[in-house]
Amino acid sequence: MAVSVFTTPEGVHIFRVRGKLSANSIGDLKTALDAAGERAYAVINLKGAPMLDSVSIGYLVRRHSVLWRGGGAMALCCLHPMVSKLLAMAGLNKHFTVHEGEEDAVAALKKSFTGPVPQPKKRGRKPKGKEPETPKAEEKI
């Protein structure tokens, strides 16, 4: 399996996958998607991927959730008919945004933001401080 990565001037990452996506071969896609960050806008072109196994589908679902929670988005495009059927049978065609062509997917993601892709949020805990004391109700004797 091979992955080609392109980035549009607006900051949308395009991942073109060639070959079967399986537990043994998902490493390249994982590395490329993880490098894009948690707020990335990613289009995954699966035209060259005639097969996905459960491990790769699970990774795509998890990555989609990570991007969504981080403020990014992910879209799939150019699905092989067998992959499209597999996603439909698993009920995941409603989970993913699927487009016929790469240009359609990029245009759809561009609509979700204006200007360059926003920078990642800083993560971490808020400093602990004393919470304001609430006045106690006066007790009657």
Predicted local distance difference test score (pLDDT) of residue 141: 57
Which CATH number is 100's domain given? Answer: 3.30.750.24
Evaluate whether residue 27 is within a structural domain.
yes
Sign of CA dihedral 5, 92, 113, 70: negative
Evaluate whether residue 55 is within a structural domain.
yes
134 pLDDT higher than 70: no
| C-alpha dihedral, 97 to 106 to 31 to 34, nearest 10° | -70
| Strand, coil or helix: 112 | coil
- CB-CB contact of 98 with 77 (8 Å): yes
Query: What distance in Å separates the CA atoms of residue 51 and residue 30, rounded to the nearest whole number?
Result: 16
Q: How confident is the model at residue 131 (pLDDT cuts 50, 70, 90)?
A: low
Domain coverage including residue 33: 2-111
Total tally of structural domains belonging to the chain = 1
pLDDT digits (tens, 9 = 90+) for 48-95: 998 889 999 999 999 999 998 888 999 999 998 888 898 888 888 888
Specify the pTM: 0.75
- CB-CB contact of 65 with 33 (8 Å): no
Evaluate whether residue 141 is within a structural domain.
no
Evaluate whether residue 89 is within a structural domain.
yes
Tokens for 39? Answer: 């707020």
